[in-house]
Amino acid sequence: MKPAPFSYHRATSVDDAVAALTQGAGMARILAGGQSLVPMLNLRLAPLDTVIDISRVDSLRQAHDDADSVRYGALVTHAAFEDRRVPDGSNGLMPFVAGQIAYRAVRNRGTIGGSLALADPAADWLTTLVALEGKLLIAGPEGRRAVAAADFVIGSYLTDLAENEMIEAVVVPRRSATERWGHYKVARKTGEYAESMAIALVDKARNYARLVVGATDGAPLVLEQAAQAFLDGRTDDALRVVIRDELLAAGREFSAARLTMHTTVAMRGLKGAAAK
């Protein structure tokens, strides 16, 4: 199918894009890499009057290496992470995750900001940013604000972004050099959206563990009790029970099969991190 007609605004700066969003009064949408928005336009699933193209705003393509964190402009592509053309403070987790998003032709154009703004619960960056305790820098008519990735996602395709705000950058804290990550993803087909995914971060030197499960029909779930149980030395079935109970307590009404899948995926994520 082809998109319905819309008007086009090529933004010259972040402020210009925000002004166009404000003028659009809820019927304008930001076009970043277009790898989700344009398919939705083609399928006529994204009702809008105006597309605001931010691809010419060069500042949004930059990445900065700061002392305690790395700041990525919203337009940094998945392929740029995959090829390590931008700095990495995640001990290789971000390049690894990026290389598994969709297909190379999509990764060449798809952006981290666009992916987060859509907030598909099964998308890779959302779970990754929550796991890495990243934050988003958001530009709006009243200026800039920062929000933690975990607070940014409210639910499936639902974020903290107001209709006249846009993501300007993503800031990821530099992780400890002794931290190890585990990643496990179940997808029906290579490059497909995840059925379930888990990221575990374990730092034995600091007695630290963090476990996040994504593709859970809403915001990614941070399993704090399970991470603590892992640190307390629980393994195998004793650990499974804690993960399962914590997933159940999230109130997502998982079917028995999905609950088993998420539990298994979380276990494998933790095992992956522990084995490194």
Partner 1 sequence: MKVTISLTVNGAQIRRDVEPRTSLADFLREELRLTATHLGCEHGVCGACTVMVDGAPARACIALAVSLDGAEIRTVEGFAEDAAMGVIKEAFHQEHGLQCGFCTPGMLISARDLIARHPEADDVGIRRAMSGNLCRCTGYQGIVRSIKSAARQLSSQGKQP
Chain residues binding partner 1 by CB under 8 A are 1-8, 10, 31, 34-35, 38-39, 41-43, 51, 53, 55, 79, 102-106, 108-109, 189-191
Shortest approach of partner 1 to residue 79 CB, angstroms? 7
Shortest approach of partner 1 to residue 91 CB, angstroms? 23
Shortest approach of partner 1 to residue 56 CB, angstroms? 9
Shortest approach of partner 1 to residue 224 CB, angstroms? 34
Query: Is residue 184 within 8 Å of residue 157, measured between CB atoms?
Result: no
* Block residue for tokens 């305790």: 133
Shortest approach of partner 1 to residue 192 CB, angstroms? 9
Residues in the chain: 276
CB closer to partner 1, 68 vs 189:
189
Shortest approach of partner 1 to residue 205 CB, angstroms? 34
Residue whose C-alpha is closest to residue 121's, from 23, 28, 193, 42: 193
Beta bridge partners, 49, equal none
CB closer to partner 1, 14 vs 37:
37
CB closer to partner 1, 37 vs 223:
37
First to last CA, the chain: 47
Tell me the two tokens of residue 164: 């006249």
Distance CA(276)–CA(274), nearest Å, equals 6
CB closer to partner 1, 2 vs 256:
2
Shortest approach of partner 1 to residue 106 CB, angstroms? 6
Tell me the two tokens of residue 143: 């200026």
CB closer to partner 1, 141 vs 191:
191
- The maximal CA–CA distance of the chain, rounded, in angstroms, is 59
* DSSP line for 5-22: P-EEEE-SSHHHHHHHHH
Q: Is the dihedral of CA 1, 74, 83, 204 positive or negative?
A: negative
Amino acid at site 145: R
Contacts of 164 (CB under 8 A, 6+ apart): 18, 21, 22, 24, 140, 141
CB closer to partner 1, 4 vs 27:
4
CB closer to partner 1, 62 vs 228:
62
